[in-house]
Chain A
Amino acid sequence: MKADGIGARVTRKEDQRFLTGNGQYTDDITLSHQTYAAFVRSPHAHATINDIDTRAAAAMPGVVAIFTGKDIAATGIGGLPCGWLINNKDGTPMKEPPHHILAVDKARYVGDQVAVVIAETIEQARAAAEAVEVDYGVLPAVADTATASKAKASVHDAAADNVCYVWGHGDAAAVDRAIASAHKVSTLDIVNNRLIPNAIEPRAANAAYDKSSDSYTLYVSNQNPHVERLLMCAFVLGIPEHKVRVVAPDVGGGFGSKIFLYAEETVLVWASKRVGRPIKWTADRMESFLSDAHGRDHVTRVQMAMDGNGKFTGMKVTTTANVGAYLSTFASCVPTILYATLLAGQYATPAIYCEVTAVFTNTSPVDAYRGAGRPEATYVVERIVETAARDMGLDPAEIRRRNFITTFPYATPVGLTYDIGDYHACLEKAVKLADYAGFPARQAEAKARGKLRGIGFSSYIEACGLAPSNVAGALGARAGLFEAGEVRVHPTGKVTVFTGSHSHGQGHETTFAQVVADRLGIPIDDVDIQHGDTGKVLFGMGTYGSRSLAVGGTAIVKAVDKVIAKGKKIAAHLLEAADTDIEFKDGVFRVAGTDKNVPFASVALTAYVPHNYPLDKLEPGLNENAFYDPTNFTYPAGTHICEVEIDPDTGKTEIVKFTAVDDFGNIINPMIVEGQVHGGLAQGIGQALLEGCVYDKESGQLLTATYMDYAMPRADDLPNFTVGTHVTPCTHNPLGVKGCGEAGAIGSPPALINAITHAIGVRDIAMPATPERVWRAIQSRA
């Protein structure tokens, strides 16, 4: 293994700038003649906008301009698009009510933007925003997921019953037959709690219009600048795409929440031409709580049918999913395509049916958050599997062993084909690392101290490497899901790589450089990775769904291979040999079986100084790009085991050990992979123990809109994790990689809740399992 190549624990190239304060996040960029924006946001969850009086605000010091929804609508600007069409069971399309970039007639959630104030300083903008007088007619609000479709009020006139769609997936009749003939049917009613992503860098944007070239530059804290540009130009503002450059510089965490095209940056771009000066907006934390797209928020009933041996014969899932007040960019596909297709889990359940009712409510839009649909599916599957084991009197490891899929490729009844995996191997390794055999003794010892111990499993699977474009298209995607990469070899043999993936903590500048350095046989310091700028990168679908290495990395590999192929032709000319006789290894082109060779850097120089060069057959230069569209999803999978100890007097849960064994396929940089797992686990444990987004059901007010009310996982809330891997290389990409960014957040919540319900002997406990809830559950049992 090359010391800085594939598989090496290389420290990160990007760290120097982050550690010395030289990162460049969006809010760090201040342009000349900068102005600042503040948004006027609705304090009501649901209200008509009768009138907006901006006169007093406009007269305040420093105010440059004020725009309302009517001003924008008057220029013919439409609303924000939704990127995925979901059809109802009867084949009719979902309801897609308009999502204006500033509300026009009605505000539909607390925080909905109704006007923007632009001023010389941020203080002046905020003060003037306070002075904008909006005459609201307060309406009854719909804020509860489970009852939204029966509420008297309607969020949108176009969806009087608040239903966006009712979607079905799988074979309902087969599942009904399995349930009717089952030895036992386990049933569980569960809620997947709503979360607020809370990247520590708040969303921010800075938009500038250049009159001389009639073009725009937008700096924005975003995970996919090309998608941002495409959606904004083609579907909202009607600005030609080549007149807009979108830069997503250093981004301080995304977790899904920075995938989407938001109203704020769209308003800024629109207004920048009218104002003629750059406009910057940075969310304050309260705005982040109110206006970042939230995650999860499902209410589900699940039934698992089994035969007498605990073999699963059918599973039925009925879910109500809250999409919030408007359809955010990928809101419609998260609780459907990214959810129901994962309900087979790691098991050979022959029949599965899932029905999802998506409802509008007067709450912030809900969209992808770390895992996006797959954590919700895993929570359903792994909670019911553990419950089924308890109902059958089986060990939770044993019921999994009896039901695991063991032959590949395996076509599930919910539409995916798993290419490879070894679920037994991950389970057995986790069982060993967690010392499952020693659990009864530890439980007894804890009991002697008056404490309750429990242990819980979760054998998750996810579909990553999004996605084969034609498959996604057939399922309703309104975009392609390939990735693009460019490898630019400079005359000196140094390399700049441009990738459509975006790094906002994942360490691509290192991992991707390792891949390229390894393949070209050059030092990692000779390779730089550029990303996040539509002015530099040819195209890109961006980073989400643990896709960057599997899809973005493969595009780079394809481009590298084109560089090598062209290099061979140049080397063949220099070495006076046939192209087919040239082999490339360790940075050297060589005539096979001889010591005639020429190093990579010489070939690069020749490509740019083509004096002795086959100009009749070959273009000069050494710069290649590639687009890669995957042929299948990748399927990371693993087993997580959580052991907890609960103090029955306080209800406080302590995680005494958390073990995660994951199969991510081949691993490029184990240090970075472990870091991704740790971070995912922290978010999953946060969901299960600490974090809960709460709306007042009557008023629709967000009750958890500050760090005083929303419990973020802190250093002393979390344990050290025990992590391990088992490798089955992905079969359909050249690196054999699957993706690791979301597994921790997907696998951990059910392991933790299974452990808590095991410890206290209850069927369910709501997430977050706060000490109060645990204590009450213990009391209810007594």
Chain B
Amino acid sequence: MTIHISMKVNGKAVSADVAASTTLVEFIREHLRLTGTHVGCNTAQCGACTVHVDGRAVKSCNMLAAQASGAEVTTIEGLASANGDMHPMQAAFKEHHGLQCGFCTPGMVMSALELKGRFPNATDEQIREALDGNFCRCTGYQNIVKAVKAGLAA
């Protein structure tokens, strides 16, 4: 069964006919070819697929594309400004070496950004707790915490 969906992705209106079972991450990666959003597990545990749907960080492997129909979706590709300058959170990850292989990074940045509203002055502990749905196998998290702290303050 296919259904018609339409949504705004990174500010651009998109619509398509997709199988009802299409997940949001499949739609983003395979239909829109926005491959910055990654799949590490497809079972809602690793956080690599995190995007924003109407401003909330969600694991896009755990949501049907149809559920996001009508929503505003932001992916990692949508963060930098039009002239290519990175968002302060992205810049903070670079500045504090909050990434190594880069695979978890888009999800990590999208999760971190959502904290902005919740904990503008987050402590290390609050950041660590808030990121516990995002796995990183490379960094040991210490520099991610540093980066997120700096990114929230920026």
Residues of A within 8 A of B (CB): 11-12, 14-25, 27-28, 30, 123, 198-202, 250-253, 255, 282, 284-285, 504-507, 671-672, 674-675, 678-683, 706-708, 712-716, 718, 720-721, 744
Q: A12-B94, A19-B105 are in contact. List 18 more A-B contacts (CB 8 A).
A: A14-B102, A123-B19, A123-B21, A200-B38, A202-B40, A250-B101, A252-B101, A252-B103, A282-B39, A285-B42, A285-B43, A504-B101, A505-B138, A675-B100, A678-B140, A707-B46, A715-B145, A718-B141
Residue pairs across A and B with Cβ atoms less than 8 A apart, 11 shown, are A12-B94, A15-B99, A18-B105, A20-B76, A27-B39, A200-B104, A678-B141, A678-B143, A679-B100, A682-B141, A714-B132
Instruction: For the complex, give the distance between the alpha carbons of A526 and B76 in Å.
Output: 28
Checking B37, B90, B131 against A715 with a beta-carbon cut-off of 8 angstroms, the contacting residue is: B131
Q: A707 CA to B61 CA in the complex, in Å? A: 15
B124 contact from A506, A713, A720, Cβ within 8 A: A720
Q: Return B90 CB to nearest CB of chain A, in Å.
A: 4
- Min CB distance B43 to A, Å, is 6
Chain A proximity of B50: nearest CB distance (Å): 12
Which chain B residues lie closer than 8 Å to A285 at the CB level?
Answer: 40-43, 46
**B121 contacts partner chain A, Cβ-Cβ < 8 Å:** no
Known: A20-B86, A253-B137, A715-B128. A675 touches B45 (CB 8 A): no
In the complex, A671→B90 CA distance in Å?
Answer: 17
Which chain A residue has the least Cβ–Cβ distance from B33? A30
B143 and A22: CB pair below 8 A? no
Q: How far is the CB of B40 from chain A (nearest CB, A)?
A: 4
> B34, A21: Cβ atoms under 8 Å?
yes
Inter-chain residue pair count (beta carbon < 8 A)? 173
Q: Is the CB of B77 within 8 A of A21?
A: yes
Nearest chain A residue, comparing its CB with the CB of B40: A200
How many Å lie between the Cα of A507 and that of B138 in the bound state? 12
Interface flag for B60 (CB, 8 Å) = no
Residues from chain A with a CB closer than 8 A to the CB of B35 are 21, 24-25, 27-28
A-B pairs with the 4 shortest C-beta distances?
A21-B36, A252-B103, A18-B102, A505-B101
Among B36-77, those with CB < 8 Å from A are: 36-43, 45-46, 48, 75-77
A252 in contact with B38 (CB, 8 Å): yes
Instruction: Enumerate chain B interface residues (CB-CB to A < 8 A).
Output: 19, 21, 29, 33-43, 45-46, 48, 75-77, 79-80, 86, 90, 93-95, 97, 99-106, 109, 124-125, 127-129, 131-132, 134-145
Query: Beyond A250-B102, A285-B40, A505-B101, is A19–B140 a contact (Cβ under 8 Å)?
Result: no
Name the distance in Å between A258's Cβ and chain B's nearest Cβ: 11
Judging by beta carbons under 8 Å apart, are A714 and B100 in contact? Answer: no
A715, B127: Cβ atoms under 8 Å?
Answer: yes
Identify the interface centre among A19, A25, A199, A675: most chain B CB within 10 Å of its CB. A19
CB atoms of A505 and B100 under 8 A apart = yes
Q: A25 and B38: CB pair below 8 A?
A: yes
Residues B128 and A716 in contact, CB atoms below 8 Å apart: yes
| Assembly CA distance A25 to B40 (angstroms) | 12
Q: Which residues of B contact A27 (CB under 8 A)?
A: 35, 39
Contact at B94–A11, with CB atoms within 8 Å?
Answer: yes
Bound Cα distance A377, B7 (Å) = 55
* Complexed CA–CA distance, A720 and B124 (Å): 9
Report how far A123 CA is from B19 CA in the complex, Å.
11
A498 CB, min distance to chain B CBs, angstroms: 21
**CB <8 Å contact, B140 and A23:** no
Closest B residue to A684 by beta carbon equals B140
Q: Could you tell me the distance between the alpha carbons of A202 and B101 in the complex, rounded to whole angstroms?
A: 13
Cβ–Cβ < 8 Å partners of A251 in chain B: 101
Q: Report the nearest A residue to B104, measured CB to CB.
A: A200
Cβ–Cβ contact B97 & A25, under 8 A: no
Query: Complex: how many Å from CA A16 to CA B93?
Result: 10
- The residue in chain A whose Cβ has the minimal distance to the Cβ of B95 is A11
CB distance from A313 to the nearest CB of B (A): 38
The reply to whether A201 and B101 contact each other, CB–CB distance below 8 Å, is yes
B145 touches A18 (CB 8 A): no
| Partner of A721 from B90, B103, B140, B144 at Cβ < 8 Å | B140
Q: Which residues of A contact B48 (CB under 8 A)?
A: 200
Out of A19, A23, A250, A284, name the residue touching B90 (CB < 8 Å): A19
B43 CB contact (under 8 Å) in A14, A679, A707: A707
Residues of A within 8 A of B80 (CB): 20
Complex: A111 Cα to B31 Cα, angstroms: 30
Asked whether B137 lies within 8 Å of A16 as measured between CB atoms, the reply is no
Task: List the A residue with the shortest CB-CB distance to B10.
Answer: A21
Alpha-carbon gap, A282 to B41, bound state (A): 11
Question: Which of chain B's residues have a CB closer than 8 A to the CB of A716?
Answer: 125, 128-129, 131-132
Inter-chain contacts of B124 with A (CB < 8 A): 720
A22 touches B36 (CB 8 A): yes
Report A144 CB to chain B, min CB distance, Å: 28
Residues of A within 8 A of B106 (CB): 19, 21
Distance in Å: Cβ of A585 to nearest Cβ of chain B: 31
Report yes or no: A284 in contact with B42, Cβ–Cβ below 8 A. yes
Known: A714-B132, A718-B140. A12 touches B42 (CB 8 A): no
A250 smallest CB distance to B (angstroms): 7
- Give CA–CA (A28, B32) in the complex, Å: 12
A720 to B127, CA, bound (A): 13
Distance, CA A712 to CA B133, complexed state (A)? 11
A708 touches B45 (CB 8 A): yes
Q: Could you tell me the distance between the alpha carbons of A282 and B87 in the complex, rounded to whole angstroms?
A: 31
Q: Is A200 a contact partner of B137 (Cβ separation < 8 A)?
A: yes
CA distance A466 to B36 in the complex (A): 34
